[in-house]
Amino acid sequence: MRYRTIGNTGLSISEIGFGTGGMAGLMINGTPEEQRAAVKRALDLGVNYFDESPDYGDGISESNLGTILKELGVRPVITTKVEVRAENLDDIAGHVERSVDASLKRLQLEQVDVIQIHNGPVTQRPNLQGRAYNILALEDYLKPGGAIEGLDRIVKAGKTRYVGFVCRGNDGGEVRQLIDTGRFQLINLVYTLLNPTASATVANSSATPDFGGVIEYAQERGVGVAVYSPLAGAMLTDHGLAGGDPHRLSQRGGGAATGPFAEARARAKAQAARFGFLSQPGKHTLAQAAVRFILMNPGVTTVLGGFSDVPQLEEGCAASDLPPLTDEEMTRIADAWRA
């Protein structure tokens, strides 16, 4: 396992991070024995970074990870998040404090290393309804009593060392504005073979949503980058390419059989098939090649694997020690983008 430093923080984390969300499902739907075995194996392989959220299983994932880490007597680097919903808009800063307190209780910790706002920034105030939290107005980050003030409070209280936020795409301008405040140390975003728009060095303007080439902008300003959903919902895997069913623990599901979602997923699967040449037995799997592509960008700090079992974990972690993709492979990738 190789390690990279989060921006200017001096905090070194593994190139492969352990994602604990519902898409993989392990830390929510797995048995205690399955969860413990995976966490222990990850630590044995050198993984020292775990990415959490209270939204993952409505707190179940945090509770399960906290119990396992206490049993194992280890304290890796941990990020968790805060979701701002419609019911929280009148007291965002207070909600940040309360959410963090609840997460710390579930994780059985007095401090985590990073707290991120799980909402991506947008210019206009969104019409949040029900449990929706994917985006948040830039004003609600910046205003008195807003998200940044809440993050400042928990840093001052010693409940976290660093703070960040999540990017959702079509938000490059807003992401740059938040980075320019100098208050953030880590952002999470999507950067994959199917959508490389988060890097300004990649000429591909057709992928959506557009992540605005912010990786290099963050790197220049000392902000780390964690990449989530690196395998595009398991489409960039040998199993997915072969049309295999989702893992029994996964919450991916197949989605609607017809309609816009099904059409978009069919297009994405067709695009993923163009990268099938990267599956090369004895050299690397498609998933490992997809991760190596991400790690070739020096602005990326860690790739968050969504592991459903130990074999997936081992496959993902092995990508850290593989060489970069070859010039020939990169040329074929560029050809696939143009196609």
Which helix or strand (DSSP H or E) is residue 36 part of?
Answer: helix 32-44
CA atoms of 88 and 96, how far apart (whole Å): 9
What's the CA gap between 200 and 210, in Å, rounded?
11
- In whole angstroms, give the CA distance from residue 302 to residue 2: 10
Give me the phi and psi of 37, to 5 degrees please.
-60, -40
Residue with tokens 């948040």: 136
DSSP state of 289: H
Q: Residue 224: beta bridge partners?
A: 186
119-143: per-residue pLDDT in tens? Answer: 999 999 999 999 999 999 999 999 9
Looking at residue 259, what is its pLDDT? 73
- Closest among 92, 112, 91, 90 to 101, alpha carbons compared: 112
17 pairs with which residues across the strands?
304
Domain spanning 3-338: CATH superfamily: NADP-dependent oxidoreductase domain (3.20.20.100)
3-state helix, strand, coil in the chain (%, to 5): 40, 15, 45
Give the whole-angstrom CA distance, residue 286 versus residue 288. Answer: 5
Where residue 267 falls among pLDDT bands split at 50, 70, 90?
confident
Would you state the pLDDT for residue 116?
99
Are 224 and 186 spatial neighbours (Cβ–Cβ below 8 Å)?
yes
Model pTM? 0.96
Where residue 313 falls among pLDDT bands split at 50, 70, 90?
A: very high
Which residues, in sequence order, are bridge partners of residue 280? 284
Averaged pLDDT, 299-309: 97
Query: 88 vs 261, which has greater pLDDT?
Result: 88
- Taking a C-beta distance cutoff of 8 angstroms, is the pair 113, 69 a contact? no
**Separation of first and last alpha carbons in the chain:** 34
Residue with tokens 């599956």: 279
Q: Which residue has the tokens 């459903």?
A: 308
Lowest pLDDT segment from 36-50, 216-230, 247-261, 320-334 = 247-261
pLDDT tens for 271-283 read 999 999 999 999 9
Q: What is the pLDDT of residue 256?
A: 54
Phi, psi of 3 (to 5 degrees): -130, 150
- Three-state secondary structure readout of 8-35: CCCCEEECEEEECCCCCCHHHHCCHHHH
Average pLDDT, the chain: 95
Q: Tell me how many degrees the CA angle 84-88-92 measures, rounded to the nearest 5.
A: 75
Task: Say what percent of the chain tops pLDDT 70.
Answer: 97
Q: Does pLDDT of 191 surpass 80?
A: yes
